[in-house]
Structures are given as C-alpha cells and as structure tokens.
Amino acid sequence: MFTGIIEAVGTVRSATYCQGDLRLHINSGQLDLSDVKLGDSIATNGICLTVVALPGDGYIADVSIETLEHSTLGTLASGALVNLEKALTPTTRLGGHLVSGHVDGVGGVTAIEPSARSTRYWIEAPLALARYIAHKGSITVDGVSLTVNSVEGTKFALNIVPHTQEMTTITSWQVGTKVNLEVDQIARYLERLLDPELKESQQSKQSKLTSSFLAEHGFLR
C-alpha cells in the first residue's frame, strides 16, 4: 500500500525482456534503500513492483505480462525517468490517499494549459475508467496522488503546483504522453457493492431459517 506522495525520481538503467516478461533495473536516485530488503514493494510510476535484487545503485524488479498489458512499463527505455515511492508503514503520514499500486489502465495527456503559477493538464481516460473519476475526487497518475479539478466526459483536468512538478516526472509530460491511472479504491468497491447482479445473487443465498420455518417444523411453540 502507498500514499501517492512521491519520494524520489529514479532512472531506468536497463529494461530487458526475458521469456515474454520484463526485468527492470532502476537507479533509485535519492530514494533511501537502507531499509529495503528482497521481497519488499516499491511503486514505480504507480505500479507496485517486488524487489528481486539490490545491486547497490537501486533495485531490480520483474514485470509480468499482465502488468505490461495494463500499464506503460513496457514502453520504458534506458534513461527514462520514473516516480518512486516505498510502501507505507504504520507510522507513515497519509499525505495523499490510499494507493494500491495496481494500475487500472493507461490514459493520455491531451492538453497542457498555464494556470497562474500552476499548470493544468487534461488527461483522457479509457471509457471503462471514466465512471470512477469524479470532480474533486482522488486519482493516481504515474504514482502521484492528485485531485481531479474538472471532468468532461472521459477527460479530466489536474492543476499541478510547481512543487509537485519539481518532485515528480510530471514536468516531462507533453501532449500525447501516456500515463498510468489508478482510480480511487472507494469508487471501485462502491460500484461492486451496488452491482444489481451481485445483490440478486446475495439475496438468493440468504438464510431460509425464519421464525415461520422453525414453527412449521416444531422448533417454536
């Protein structure tokens, strides 16, 4: 679990395909790895990756075919910059929102507009994800916890303050840049709970042990 507050920007040292999936070697830059051990998780551009090796200058992680199909990791080349965040601990400040690191899909930057000292980025989400994106709601873009400032159909706007641009890879975004999207977990679970098919299934499985049933079979007088 993560917060979406980026701790450092790293650099891809190598991206090597091996038997269909990908092995990434990430130079972790200013990210402190002194408390990281094999098997720990590090969000890389918003994707929860498991550390399989610690070569000294960063970490190595394997990326499955499933992850490659639903994210931008497969497009990363040597020298690419990535947002990094270590998994949160019980004492971590939750400065962003709860982020799982399980990317839902890929969006694209469609417009970049100046907005006083901030910059407004418009991003188009896949149609299947648009229903989860709400005005003033939270969304994770390339691992960064951000507030949705406007929504127009499948497009949404983000106002990025200078500090966030300086501390992340957002400053490198251009029109056409592809980004990883993770929608708010509450929205996903709420939809599941309200799914009419699921409710019907649950109702059909409800216990038939009623007071009438008990009386009919001699358990109540």
Of the listed ranges 22-26, 82-86, 96-100, 148-152, the one predicted with least confidence: 96-100
Same domain, yes or no: 123 and 160: yes
pLDDT at 95: 84
Q: Is residue 150 part of a domain?
A: yes
Q: Is residue 207 part of a domain?
A: no
Same domain, yes or no: 62 and 112: no
Q: Is residue 203 part of a domain?
A: no
User: Rounded distance, CA 61 to CA 82, Å?
Assistant: 14
pLDDT tens-digit series, residues 117-143: 999 999 999 999 999 999 999 999 999
Residue finishing a domain among 59, 86, 113? 86
Same domain, yes or no: 120 and 178: yes
CATH of the domain at 32: 2.40.30.20
How many structural domains are present in the chain?
Answer: 2
Which long-range contacts link 115-119 to residues 24+ away (Cβ below 8 Å)?
115/159, 117/161, 117/162, 118/159, 118/160, 118/161, 118/162, 119/159, 119/160, 119/165
Q: Is residue 69 part of a domain?
A: yes
Q: Is residue 153 part of a domain?
A: yes
pLDDT tens-digit series, residues 144-155: 999 999 999 999
Q: Is residue 26 scored above 80 in pLDDT? A: yes
Same domain, yes or no: 188 and 113: yes
Same domain, yes or no: 64 and 114: no
What domain range is 78 assigned to? 8-86
